[in-house]
A and B are shown apart, each in its own frame.
Chain A
Amino acid sequence: CVHCRSLITVEYVKLLDRYTSKKAVTGTLYLTATHLIYVEQANNNRKETWVLHHHISAIEKLPLTASGCPLLIHCKTFQLLHLLLPREREAQEVHQSLLRLSQPVKVEELYAFLYNPKQSDAERLDGWSLIDIVTDFNRMGLPNELWDISHINSEYELCSTYPSVLGLPKSASVATVTGSAKFRSRGRLPALSYYHKDTKAAICRCSQPLSGLSSRCIEDEQMLQAISEANPNSYKLAWDTLSDIKLNAMANRAAGKGYENEGNYSNIRFQFQGIENIHVMRSSLQKLLELCAQKSPSMSDYLTGLENSGWLRHIKAVMDAGVFLAKAVGDEGASVLVHCSDGWDRTAQVCSLACILLDPYYRTIKGLMVLIEKEWISFGHKFSHRCGLLEGDPKEVSPVFTQFVECVWQLSEQFPCAFQFNERYLLTIHDHVYACQYGNFIGNCQKERQDMRLRERTFSLWPFLLQCQDEFRNPLYKRSTHNSLLRPSTLPLHFKFWCGMYNRYDKGMQPKQSVLDTLLTLTLKQTQEERTMTELQRVSCILFLLFFLFFCICFHL
Chain B
Amino acid sequence: MEFAELIKTPRVDSVVLHRPFLPTVEGTLCLTGHHLILSSRQDNTEELWLLHSNIDAIDKRFVGSLGTIIVKCKDLRIIQLDIPGMEECLNIASSIEALSTLDSLSLMYPFFYRPMFEVIEDGWNLFSPAEAFKDLESMTDEWRLSEINKDFAVCPSYPSLVTVPKDIDDDTLCKAAAFRHGGRFPVLSYYHKKNGMVMMRAGQPLTGTNGRRCKEDEKLINATLRPGKRGYIIDTRTIAVAQQAKARGGGFEQEANYPQWRRIHKAIERSNILQESLIKLVEACNDQSNSMDRWLSKLEASNWQSHVKEILTTACLAAQCIDREGASVLVHGTEGTDSTLQVTSLAQIILEPVCRTIRGFQALVEREWLQAGHPFQQRCAQSAYSNGKPRSEAPVFLLFLDCVWQILRQFPCSFEFNEHFLVTLFEHAYASQFGTFLGNSAAERVKLKLSRKTVSLWSWVNRPQELERFVNPLYEPNSLVIWPSVAPQSLLLWEGVFLRWNRSTKCLDEAYEEMVHIIEYNKELQNKVNSLSRQLAQLETEDSPLQSP
Contacts and interface: CB of A to CB of B under 8 A. Distances in A.
Given A418-B507, A492-B291, A526-B525, A543 B543 contact: yes
B447 to A, nearest CB: 41
B410 A511 contact: yes
A316 interface: yes
B529 A299 contact: no
B525 A533 contact: yes
Given A299-B488, A536-B532, 11 more contacts: A303-B296, A307-B293, A476-B511, A491-B288, A491-B502, A493-B499, A510-B485, A518-B413, A526-B525, A533-B532, A543-B540
A536 B529 contact: yes
B518 A475 contact: yes
Interface stretch (B155-163, B180-188, B249-257, B301-309): B301-309
B292 interface: yes
B309 A299 contact: yes
Contacts of A543: 536, 539-540, 543
Interface stretch (B92-100, B220-228, B489-497): B489-497
A464 interface: no
B489 A302 contact: yes
B3 interface: no
Contacts of A150: none
A303 B299 contact: yes
A467 interface: no
A493 B502 contact: yes
B413 A513 contact: yes
B241 interface: no
A512 B291 contact: no
Contact of A494 (B291, B294, B503): B503
Contacts of A417: 507, 510-511, 514
B409 A539 contact: no
Interface of B: 284-285, 288-297, 299-300, 303, 305-306, 308-309, 409-414, 474, 482, 485, 487-493, 499, 502-504, 507-508, 510-511, 514-515, 518-519, 521-522, 525-526, 528-529, 532-533, 535-536, 539-540, 543, 545-546
Contacts of B522: 522, 525-526, 529
Interface string A449-480: 00000000000000000000000000110100
Interface of A: 292, 296-304, 306-307, 310, 312-313, 316, 414-418, 475-476, 478, 481, 489-497, 499, 503, 506, 508-515, 518-519, 522-523, 525-526, 529-530, 532-533, 536-537, 539-540, 543-544, 546-547, 550
B535 A532 contact: no
B67 to A, nearest CB: 29
Contacts of B288: 491
B404 to A, nearest CB: 15
Contacts of A540: 532, 535-536, 539
Nearest to A499: B489
Nearest to A516: B412
A300 B411 contact: no
B490 A499 contact: yes
Q: Which of A297, A416, A510 has the most CB of B within 10 A?
A: A416
A53 B72 CA distance: 57
B533 A416 contact: no
B411 A512 contact: yes
B489 A503 contact: yes
A515 B503 CA distance: 23
A513 B483 CA distance: 12
A492 B510 contact: no
A114 B492 CA distance: 43
Contacts of A515: 412-413, 474, 515
A417 B506 CA distance: 11
A302 B285 contact: no
Contacts of B482: 512
A525 B522 CA distance: 8
- State the 3 A-B residue pairs at the shortest beta-carbon distance, nearest first: A302-B488, A492-B295, A416-B511
A149 to B, nearest CB: 36
Nearest to A497: B489
A298 B525 contact: no
Contacts of B504: 489
